[in-house]
Structure 1
């Protein structure tokens, strides 16, 4: 059994996650638990445009599409960079820019 890595939320990502509807929040918690235990979430894709090793968890439910952008490749924790509700087929530039900014800030502290 692999020990679960702790979750570290960057910026407002925890508050943003708490704004998800209950069903999406529950799914997000389960998916993040999978990542903490070294497993892949059920639906994800790499986000190499943000940074090396960055991934996006994709959650769909009756309330819409929700995303969690995270970095799990560092040994000490799973870093949640950004959580948001997706409103268009393409991820908005503002969401990508915010995740990229938080990734760069993290890399300055944890090279």
Structure 2
């Protein structure tokens, strides 16, 4: 099982989400830790190579977690946020990309 490492405020941002959302996203992250794929995810090439976005939609709205699992030492959670518009905001993508460079990733 790979360790999760939260970059920047991603853990606090995840903890601030509603309980049902935290639970669902936690299950998705645990699935990744054990080598599986989340139930709803897509590559985020604009963030960097190997970055993916877990997508969750529930009664409380749409939520996302951007992570990188390509490194042997850990799964890095770059950003966790509530999606407010149809398209992912540039500020959210830029923040995840900035954190991606902090972990030694290059796009």
Interval of TM-score (by shorter of Structure 1 and Structure 2): over 0.9
Give the alignment's TM-score, normalised by structure 1: 0.93
Instruction: Map 1:1-111; keep pairs closer than 5 Å.
Output: 4-107=1-104
Root mean square deviation of aligned Cα: 0.8
Deviation, 1:105, is 1.2
Q: Tell me the distance in 2 between the aligned counterparts of 1:106 and 1:78.
A: 11
Structure 1 unaligned spans of 5+: none
Deviation, 1:107, is 1.0
- SS in structure 2 opposite 1:80? strand
Q: Tell me the distance in 1 between the aligned counterparts of 2:52 and 2:96.
A: 11
Structure 2 unaligned spans of 5+: none
Q: Tell me the distance in 1 between the aligned counterparts of 2:48 and 2:64.
A: 16
**How many equivalent pairs are there?**
105
Q: Tell me the distance in 2 between the aligned counterparts of 1:68 and 1:10.
A: 12
